[in-house]
Homo-oligomer: A and B are copies of this chain.
Amino acid sequence: MPPAHPFDDDKLKEECGIFGVIGTQDAANFVALGLHALQHRGQEAGGIVSHDAELGFQSARRFGYVRDNFTSQKVMETLPGPLAIGHVRYSTSGNKGQTAIRDVQPFFGEFAMGGAAIAHNGNITNANALRRELIERGSIFQSSSDSECIIHLMARSLQRNIPERMEDALRRVEGAFSIVAMTRTKLIGVRDPLGVRPLVLGRVGEGWALSSETCALDIIGAEFVREIEPGEMVVITDKGVESHFPFRRVAPRFCIFEHVYFSRPDSILGGRSVYETRENIGRELAKESPVEADLVCPVPDSGTPAAIGFSLQSGIPYAMGIIRNQYMGRTFIEPTEQIRNMGVRLKLNVNRALIKGKRVILVDDSVVRGTTSRKIKEMILDAGAAEVHFRIASPPTAWPCFYGVDTPQREKLLAATMSEDEMREHLGVDSLKFISLDGLYRAVGEAEGRNKSCPQYCDACFSGEYPVKPSDMLEKGFEMKAAE
């Protein structure tokens, strides 16, 4: 799970979580709870739109956590009705210097046949070209978000109803998208043909819910029904769930990093508990890269399940050698110089008495810039560890993601510029091992490993093989991996 604080620029960050409910009283309350459970997918801001027969569409969009913005009686009373959708976001693919409340989703458009709101998880890779074209033709954009293109394309569609307008719009769009949308009477869910981002369907009482992850169904007491399929559009009304497949079918490529890090360990992906998958990764890692040591310690909290798996496989005792300060938050406004320099020590402390003199295996989910890994290594050595061995629950992250994840530029990725051995030296640890790409595929259930000619997942961040051409980025000068 992505940590919440501003000093941690050393993780990839999921950019969005989406949730929608139809057919219950005060649907927005459920949406607030669902978004709270999805907060790990986006902490910067959140928004909810609801519809009530009498009052029409209502919306609230705020910076900050769901729990601080969408739990009070006062706010929730402004969002009545049996139909609501919501969105949490980490940051926008737009201009980050100018992040404004107008960039916070759901986006809303009033069309001739009535209003619609949409919440988007993913990233449109041809947004720049679409935006230029739409402005030429007289559309006025309110945000710097790529997602706003969808609503303008819908506004200009000649179709007579909103789901068809959405199909029209999405056929123009390239990239990754899982979408939850609503009209006055319909809740709509869509996944792009590759199914890069997750989207699941749940049953809540007499109503229905759509969610990025199953953990958000649990919090509202909804039953998990099934995943929305890649390329599927579901239109839910009081008559039930209709399913469409408006796009040309292709082989799916679900994001493998959802298994490694983005999704919550209590969510179910592809029929498997994310926690168990991560424990499996730890076991695979212990098989691939064993080492003699006294303790297996997770880098909390995201390294925990893999560390448990590593311990179970290797028989080396599991211990909490690093303790997280649970009162760490993100609200450091204009911090003092001293605070700014504290970095990871504000969040983590080494369990000195435990570590002293021990050979320690540290299990982390990934290495991005490597800055945090270095600091943790220093803390562990300061505390008197005899040896430090890093085991990483993902392959080297060498390529940026353009499908809805906030990644540093390629040159900032440690693995883009160094071999595993150089990284080990750079981090100054006794050993450093990443799980292999095949090992990771095995851990997620592909017994034969990765199918090279037609990979079962999107693993572009590891392999550099992008299943959708990143047009906007190519335009800006990004260079893709040379064909082999």
A interface, CB within 8 angstroms of B: 1, 3-4, 26, 29, 32-33, 36-37, 39-40, 43, 65-68, 71-74, 76, 101-102, 109-112, 132, 135-142, 151-152, 155-156, 215, 218-219, 264-266, 268, 272-273, 275-276, 279, 301, 304-305, 308, 311-312, 317-320, 323, 325-329, 331-339, 342, 345-346, 349-354
Q: Smallest Cβ distance from A337 to chain B, in angstroms?
A: 8
Within 8 Å CB of A139, what residues of B?
138-140, 155
Q: Residue A350 contacts which of B26, B36, B218 (CB distance < 8 angstroms)? A: B218
Q: Which residue of B lies closest to A57 (CB)?
A: B98
Q: Would you list 27 pairs from A and B whose C-beta atoms are within 8 A, ordered by A residue?
A: A4-B327, A26-B338, A32-B339, A33-B338, A36-B346, A37-B325, A39-B325, A65-B329, A67-B327, A71-B333, A72-B334, A72-B336, A73-B337, A110-B141, A111-B135, A139-B155, A140-B155, A218-B345, A218-B352, A264-B349, A265-B323, A265-B351, A268-B352, A272-B353, A275-B320, A275-B354, A276-B354
Q: In whole Å, how far is A422's beta carbon from the nearest beta carbon of chain B?
A: 30
| Given A33-B339, A139-B140, A352-B266; A305-B329 close (CB under 8 Å) | no
Docked pose: A311 CA to B311 CA in angstroms: 12
Instruction: Contacts A76-B336, A320-B275, A333-B72 given; indicate if A349 touches B37 (C-beta within 8 A).
Output: yes
Closest Cβ–Cβ distance, residue A338 to chain B (whole Å): 5
| A349:B219 contact, CB within 8 angstroms | yes
Q: Which residues of B contact A265 (CB under 8 A)?
A: 320, 323, 351
With a cutoff of 8 Å between Cβ atoms, the chain B residues found around residue A304 in the complex are 320
Determine the chain B residues whose CB is within 8 A of the CB of A110 once the complex forms. Answer: 135, 140-141
A66, A68, A71, A137: most-surrounded residue (chain B CB, <10 A)? A71
Q: Can you name 10 extra interface pairs (CB under 8 A) apart from A40-B327, A67-B332, A110-B141? A: A36-B327, A37-B349, A71-B336, A102-B102, A139-B140, A215-B349, A275-B323, A275-B351, A304-B320, A305-B320
Q: Bound state CA distance, A164 and B484, in angstroms?
A: 54
Pairwise interchain contact A29-B339, C-beta atoms closer than 8 A = yes
Q: Which residues of B contact A332 (CB under 8 A)?
A: 67, 71-72
In the bound assembly, the distance between CA atoms of A139 and B102 in angstroms comes to 17
- Which chain B residue lies CB-closest to A311? B318
Asked whether, in the complex, the Cβ of B273 is within 8 Å of the Cβ of A4, the reply is no
Residues of B within 8 A of A339 (CB): 29, 32-33, 71
Cα distance A218–B342 in the bound complex, in angstroms = 12
**Which residues of the other chain, B, contact A327 by a CB distance below 8 angstroms?**
4, 36, 39-40, 43, 65-67
A323 and B354 in contact (CB under 8 A), knowing A33-B342, A73-B336, A110-B140? no
**What residues on B are CB-neighbors of A43 within 8 Å?**
327
Nearest B-chain residue to A301, judged by Cβ: B326
What is the bound-complex CA distance between A106 and B72, given in angstroms? Answer: 32
Judge whether A353 and B276 touch: CB under 8 Å.
Answer: yes
Contact between B37 and A331 (Cβ–Cβ < 8 Å)? no
- Which residues on the B side are within 8 Å of A346 (C-beta)? 33, 36, 67, 219
Once the chains bind, are B301 and A308 in contact (CB under 8 Å)?
A: no
B140 touches A152 (CB 8 A): yes
The chain B residue sitting closest to A275, CB to CB, is B351
- Is A4 a contact of B73 with CB atoms below 8 Å? no
User: Once the chains are docked, how many angstroms separate the CA of A194 from the CA of B350?
Assistant: 30
